[in-house]
Amino acid sequence: MKLPKFEPNEAILFGETADIYFARTIDILRNEGLNPVATMEVFSSRAGILCGMEEVKSLLTNVLPEGNREVWALDEGEAMSEKEVVLRITAPYQSYGLYETAIDGILAHCSGWATAARECVEAARGIPVISFGVRHVHPLVVGVMDYAAIIGGCAGCSSIAGAKLAGIEPSGTMPHALIIIMGDTVTATIAFDKYMPPEVPRVSLVDTFKDEAEESLRVAQALGDKLDSVRLDTPSERGGVTADLVKEVRARLDLAGFKQVKIFVSGDIDPERISYFIESEALVDGFGVGSYISGAKPVDFTADLHEVEGKPIAKRGRIPGITPNPRLKRVM
């Protein structure tokens, strides 16, 4: 995948999203005429998948003075271990001190999403995982969230904004709303097939009004070879999607001659549920994951000064001087 070009927005550049005390610090240092070259290191609080580094680099490119800067970093999407230094900046402190909040925040949120996505993808052992969770985050971060899910290994995502950032096509089936408005699953599926461009796969949602097995056969009979998949999204009030339901729908489709129709599962999916389907030998062809990825806990990052004007220094609790990490690459 080709990495996107990020552009820092004005609120970030003007420090509006920063902790106020960084703004005050810059103010004091300017008054004091202090602007030493300082080295700041950023490390993660736990192991995971690093994400957000491209956006951070775009920010640093905008603010660090070109002739007086040295930046070392891990790559977007790399696995990082607990307490590993993932970024080291050496430059005049006034040029970047205001952005400590933004650097930490971009990495924290994006790495949290990418790490959760990776856990799902690993549990799925090759079966495609699609990010379906934009409804659990504020629209302002829908794009970066779905982008991070793709960095973490998802095969697709449901939002237009995320897909654009990741350079892919968005994925989608049909919502319950369409079926409820049209009054019947088969009617809605036929309408979907009638108006959607041919490259959009025909995936019918089969749990709205009737039994899933009965409805699967009805849509298969209505669309024939054109039906790509059925999606099972049984609500928890009805016991959720069980491995036995998947097996039964598979068996009844096969018995009726629809072996080519795939089964897509969604609804409260997380790595544990994915493993349950796989270990139960239920033949799922794709998983839609929602809040496990989009509601993932951010991976906290911490930034510390380790050298000022070339001299090792650190606050209590930290080791003064550069922390060795041979995995870092020079990026600026």
Residues 53-92 that bind a second copy (CB under 8 A): none
Exposed e or buried b per residue across 61-92, where buried means at least 16 C-beta atoms within 10 angstroms of its C-beta: eebbeeeebebbbbebbeebeeebbbbbbbbb
* Residues 86, 54: Cα–Cα separation, whole Å: 12
Give the residue with the Cβ less far from a second copy, 20 or 126. Answer: 20
291 binds a second copy (CB under 8 A): yes
Cβ distance to a second copy smaller for residue 73 or 108: 108
Residues 185 and 64: their CA atoms lie apart, in Å, by: 57
Q: Which stretch binds a second copy (CB under 8 A): 60-68, 129-137, 221-229, 271-279?
A: 129-137
Instruction: Of 125, 144, 123, give the one whose Cα is nearest residue 134.
Output: 144
Can residue 101 be called a binding residue for a second copy (CB under 8 A)?
yes
Residues 7, 9, 67, 72: what is their CA dihedral angle, to the nearest 10 degrees? -70
* Position among 65, 167, 257, 312 found at the interface with a second copy (CB under 8 A): 312
What is the rounded distance in angstroms from the CA atom of residue 229 to the CA atom of residue 201?
A: 8
Cβ-based neighbours of 203, under 8 Å, separated by 6 or more = 173, 174, 228, 229, 230, 231, 264
Contact between 136 and a second copy per CB under 8 A: yes
Q: Is 226 a binder of a second copy (CB under 8 A)?
A: no
CB 232 to a second copy: min, Å: 12
Contact between 62 and 102 (Cβ < 8 Å): no
SS3 181: helix
For the bound state, the minimum distance from the C-beta of residue 115 to a second copy, rounded and expressed in Å, comes to 13
Does residue 325 interact with a second copy by CB under 8 A?
no
Considering beta carbons, is residue 47 or 329 the nearer one to a second copy?
47
* Residue 46 in contact with a second copy, rule: CB under 8 A: no
Tell me how long the chain is.
332
Using rule CB under 8 A, residue 323 touches a second copy: no
Task: Give 4 or 170: the residue with its C-beta nearer to a second copy.
Answer: 170
Site for a second copy in 138-177 (CB under 8 A): 138-144, 158-161, 163-164, 170-177
**Min dist. Cβ of residue 285 to a second copy (A):** 18
Q: For a second copy, which residue of 124, 152, 304, 328 counts as binding (CB under 8 A)?
A: 304
298 forms part of the interface with a second copy (CB under 8 A): yes
| Closer of 167 and 329 to a second copy (Cβ) | 167
First to last CA, the chain: 22
